């Protein structure tokens, strides 16, 4: 029996700081996930809902969002994603510098799955992102991703999302 290649997850990273994008994509490599980077909340929603020039955007399996981005902030994007029946299944993880308990509470109240605070030390950031990658991209299974895999896998074999 021929073994299938694991399906790479589609991840949307909402981040406007080039250094943070570089740190994220230096740990989360193309073999881990197909990362689409957007710098503002409006474009994030256009891509998620496949509006306008993004009508051919992939369906996203996971969103990682900074709170402090232009146009629509991370809380607003999270609220729209979780408030829509077409997208409420998408896990959203906040990755931000804010340690404000009000931001943490609001993010969880709006439906985020995790809240990661960006360390100031590059080594700590790398360790945090490696732990993120191990848990969210290698260990966790997602219903919508598995449903799409099962459509191409009628035998119901448990296909891993990443190697």
Q: What pLDDT score does 7 carry?
A: 67
Q: In 3-state terms, what secondary structure has residue 154?
A: coil
**Residue-level pLDDT at 139:** 87
Does this model's pTM top 0.95? My answer is no
Output the CA angle 126-5-136, nearest 5 degrees: 30
The string of pLDDT tens digits covering residues 35-70 is 999 999 999 999 999 999 999 988 999 999 999 999
Q: What is the pLDDT of residue 161?
A: 38
CA distance 81 to 39: 17
pLDDT at position 155, please?
Answer: 36
pLDDT of residue 98: 96
pLDDT tens, residue order, the chain (163 aa):
544 445 688 999 999 999 999 999 999 999 999 999 999 999 999 999 999 999 998 899 999 999 999 999 999 999 999 999 999 999 999 999 999 999 999 999 999 999 999 999 999 999 999 999 999 998 887 765 444 443 333 333 333 333 3
Kindly state the DSSP code that residue 54 receives in the 8-state scheme.
G
List, in sequence order, the alpha helices (H) in the chain: 18-27, 41-48, 74-83, 101-110, 122-132, 143-151
Tokens of 5: 């290649």
Spatial neighbors of 39 by CB under 8 A, at least 6 apart, are 14, 15, 16, 69, 70
């Amino acid at each position: 029996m021929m073994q299938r290649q694991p399906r790479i997850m589609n991840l949307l990273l909402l981040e406007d700081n080039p250094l943070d994008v570089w740190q994220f994509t230096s740990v989360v490599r193309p073999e881990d996930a197909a990362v689409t980077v957007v710098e503002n909340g409006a474009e994030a929603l256009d891509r998620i809902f496949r509006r306008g020039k993004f009508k051919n955007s992939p369906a996203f399996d996971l969103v990682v969002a900074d709170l402090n981005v232009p146009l629509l902030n991370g809380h607003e994007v999270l609220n729209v994603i979780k408030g829509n029946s077409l997208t409420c299944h998408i896990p959203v993880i906040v990755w931000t510098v804010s340690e404000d308990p009000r931001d943490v509470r609001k993010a969880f109240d709006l439906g985020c799955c995790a809240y990661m605070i960006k360390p100031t030390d590059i080594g700590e950031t790398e360790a945090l992102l490696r732990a993120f990658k191990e848990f969210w991209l290698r260990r966790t299974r997602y219903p919508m991703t598995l449903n799409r895999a099962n459509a191409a896998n009628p035998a119901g074999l448990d296909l891993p999302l990443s190697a």
